[in-house]
Amino acid sequence: MKKSAFLEALLRIMDDKHHWAWEHFSSGRLSTAQLKIHFQHEYAVYVRDFPVFLSRILGTNPPLSVRHMLAENIYEEETGGLSLGQSHPELFLTMMEGLGFRRRDFEHARLLPAARTYRTWLEHMSSHRQWVIAAATLTIFVEGSVKDRREILAPPENRHPEDIESIISLHPLVRHHGVSPSRMDLIRAHQMVEAGHRHDAYDMVLNYTPPALRQSVLTCVKKSLSLWLNYRDAVARACGIKQLS
């Protein structure tokens, strides 16, 4: 498999990282109680410990340039040192306070079985003996989205503050649920650094995956998608959202 075909295969998987229930979350149709279930799971499954996952990959001693990219990502996730000076888990909780939730609501949330399965998979993959498979799972799949194709095929751009504020004003939590823009620094931080991190993720995986491992990478990213979809299905059911036929 050539590198170009490998990239296309990864992007095809990410093209499918879209869940049918997302429009319910993004259109203001959910109650605060339903949003709480969603966000408790997001925090416990990956937001809180994402810097730890990345640190495990760094600890396997990948090539120097990869270590630099991972270290930069960890630094931002854990300290906000490249953006707003606070860790991303901390900024997430600040956003949750804007919805009226208490921080302790997120400390010991009980995960649904499908969420535990997905979380266990992330734990396992973050410690994979092949660092590039771990990096593909965590930096391409977990950090990525259905927008990856558009973002990766265009050069990274630094968004102007006014553009970021426009994005904040249109965010569903601001538009539909009355969250103050002052509580939305997590989204600001993402807009400030995420384009560069997306390109870093694909660069490290594309440039350092030996041809013999490319299919294994794709297999693990596909399984991540399957487990993620099961997890999102379970959360949708817990929120009482039904898929229209």
Summarised one tens digit per residue, pLDDT across range 175-190 is 999 999 999 999 999 9
Q: Are 109 and 43 in contact (CB under 8 A)?
A: yes
String of DSSP letters for 107-129: TSPPPPHHHHHHHHHHHHHHT-S
- Single-letter code of the amino acid located at 219: T
In the DSSP assignment, the letter for residue 129 is: S
Scan for tokens 């350092």, then name that residue.
208
pLDDT for 245: 59
> Which CATH number is associated with domain 3-236?
1.20.910.10
Quick check: 102 pLDDT over 90?
yes
The one-letter code for the residue type at 88 is: H
How far apart (Å, rounded) are the C-alpha atoms in residues 193 and 241? 33
Tell which wins on pLDDT, 29 or 97. Answer: 97
* Confidence at 197, pLDDT banded by 50, 70, 90: confident
Determine the Cα–Cα distance for residues 99 and 108; give it in Å rounded to an integer.
19
Give me the chain's average pLDDT, please: 95
pLDDT tens figures, 109-121 = 899 999 999 999 9
The one-character DSSP state at 212 is G
pTM of the model: 0.95
In this predicted structure, what is the pLDDT of residue 195?
77
Dihedral sign for Cα 22, 89, 159, 13, please: negative
Domain ranges (residues) in the chain: 3-236
pLDDT of residue 232: 97
pLDDT digits (tens, 9 = 90+) for 202-221: 999 999 999 999 999 999 99
pLDDT class of 154 with cuts at 50, 70, 90: confident
Judged against a pLDDT cut of 70, whether residue 6 lies above it is answered with yes
Paired tokens of 136: 């593909």
Measure the CA angle with vertex 103, ends 137 and 40; round to 5°: 40
- Of 215, 144, 192, the residue nearest 184 (C-alpha): 192
C-beta of residue 114 within 8 angstroms of C-beta of residue 231: yes
